[in-house]
Every structure is written in C-alpha cells, then in structure tokens.
Structure 1
C-alpha cells in the first residue's frame, strides 16, 4: 500500500500539470489569426488582380509594399505581439493611446468599463468580440478601431512625437483658420477703404466741375452784349 502511494506521488511529479485555459490569450491568438488571414487575402489579390485589390483593400493592407510580402503565420504574429511594447499596456495606457489617436477618443470610456488592457487588443479584431462593449458602437467607428489596432500590431506603438501629433495638428489648424480670417478681414477692409477713397475722389471732381461751371457762367454774365454781337468794319482809303 505504501509502495502504491509512493508510485502515485512519483507519477504525479513527472506527469504534465493541467493548466487552466487562458480565454483572453486564446481570443488574442484568434484575433491575430484573423489579421494574418486578411493579410493573406489581400496578398493573393494583389498578385492576381491589382485593380480589384485597390478597390477593396482596407487599412494598412492598401500598402503594396506590405501586401507584396507573404504574411507571417499567427504564431509568429503572436510572438511579435508579445514583444510589442503595447502588449504590456495597462488600462490607463490604452486609454491614453485612444485619446491621442484621431477618431478613437470616443472609445476611451469603454476601455475602463470593460477593463481592456494592451494584451487583449488584438481580440477586438474579431467581429463577434464586439459584445465586449456594453454600449453599441457605430460600424464606421468600429472600422476606425480596427485600423488603429492593426497599425498598433504591425507598426508598434506611436512615438512620443506622433502621440503629440493630433494636438499639433489641431494647433496648426487653429492658426491656419485665424490666418484665413485675418486675410479675409484685411481684404475686406482694404477693399472698403479703396471704395471710400474712390467715392471721395469722385465727389472732389464733381465739386471742381461744379465750381468750374459756376465760374464760366459768371464770366458769361460779365461780357457785354455788344462785344458778342460786334462785327468787323472795313476801312476805306
């Protein structure tokens, strides 16, 4: 009996331990598989029919330099994603990325509601994963989210400069709008001043013509009538 117990413990020690399935890891791998399949689809389409490719491509897969290469398998993508800095993002870091990404700021509250961290972001590429959001999201907004996650997986997290880019773009836009408003106002005021100057000049010429006309009338009244009607006489010798 003691030998059986010892054998049981020995077998237990050398046998594989049962692991609890990691649902998030599984869904993340499925999301990366979907990304790899979509890449492969556009890769094949690019090789056989580039006209159809350019009319149906999406996101980064419209880049011919990218789709010209055969995509890596899902396991390779999974390893690359594990080494991606965004993989270790916390909820706050994911939220910060959404705030600085044009078109994704509206998703920021949902990240905290659903406790989404960086490691599970690829799982949001799955259409059936949309139930993770408790609030319905418009299809157009989901398309923007897919693009952002795809860029994050394939290109990595944005640099500090690109994180500041949306703010810089907004600042430049405000400056451009202010400059345009100033130019329009300046042109309007210049045109108005030119019109006023022209009207003033016309009034001055009108006044001068009136004065000239009055002087001519006064000269006519000062010339004697006989001087106007006199005729030359012949002098005879």
Structure 2
C-alpha cells in the first residue's frame, strides 16, 4: 500500500495579522455610513462622499441616463385626486379586479411545465393568456384594460398613464387604476353606477363601495365638514409589529 503523501507547506491564515475585522457599527471609532445627503456633507469624510457622488453623476451623464425636465401637471395623481374629491365633494368609490393578470393576452409563444402531480405526462401548457409571474403580465393587463375603458369613452391622462376621465355634459368621472385596485371619483351617481356596470361586464370585479383603504392608506372622510384625511397608521403598525417594535419609545 502506497503511503499518503502529506504536504509540509506551512499554511497561512486568509487574513494576515495586519488586518482587524470589526463587527457592528461605530466600533472602535469607526464612523457608520451616512443615510442622507446632509449627513454625508456634514460628516468627517465629506470630501470623499462628495467626490463619490460627483463620480457617479458623471457616469450617468456620460451614459445619457436622464435629462432635466419640469414635472408635468398631474404626475402626483393620488394626492391630486383626493384633493379634488374633498374640494368638490365628489363620490369616491373603489373596485377590485379579481385574478388581474389572467386578463391580459400574450403575443409570444410561451410554454410552461405542468404543476407536479397534475396533467398528462410529456405535455406542457402553451399559454393563451398571461399568468402570474410572467414578465409580460403587468404590461399585457394594462393594454387590455386601456383598450376596454377607451372603447367606453374614457380618455387617458397623457402625462400619467392609468388615470382616465370621461365626461357627459356637466357630469364627469375619474378612473384611476393601481394594478388591481380601481378608484372612481365622480360628481354624478348615475355615471358612477354606469361605469361600475361597464367594468363588471368586462372583468370579474368586486364592488367595494365607498373607498376606505387603498395602497396601504386609510381614507378618513367627513363630508359634512368637507374634510378628507389620509392615514398610514395601519401600515406603520404592521412594520413595527414585523420588527417587534410595537412597544418601543422614542
């Protein structure tokens, strides 16, 4: 039996004794990274941070990443919408689209393996509609929705997609789409109900009545006082609960 030959080379550690590994922030006088611009320019390493910022901006300028532009009117759609609702005392209702992404058509040939334990062997699904997880799903749902509501006379805001308006004489209705949530704001109940019927005839919808909670924001309204408030308390409580900080004190 041939004896195993072992190396006599002296093994050195991956890090030499010249290096000290520090765990945690602000350890041994080490300054933690700034979290905003003010901390960066006011801190002890302000020159280095400013140089890094300038270098990053120069790279983006060289790659023609952006151009400076005035913010078009209507880009902050949700806040403007609720301000209009409060000012003109509009009806504000909400609807939910069931199985949103299953409504969109796809243009490419997309094949998907069958779920394990289901279907025929040696066969795959050839998709005829978009499905959750598909890269095209969001885009195809938007195209489908835009085609449907445009056919009913809704006009999309040219500066903010997914914000629509339809007018009929002195009556008007705004329609705002947030993936599967739809906000409807109108000065005419008949037009509001007509729009709901149109949406329900085109998609599998759930009528949620007067809007109370959207995008993680609670809508608190007192129409007699012409007041509409927005609260994110529920969202904040969920974040605090997630990180076990519900009982924390400032």
TM-score (norm 2): 0.23
Which structure shows the higher helix fraction? 1
TM-score (norm 1): 0.24
Which structure shows the higher strand fraction? 2
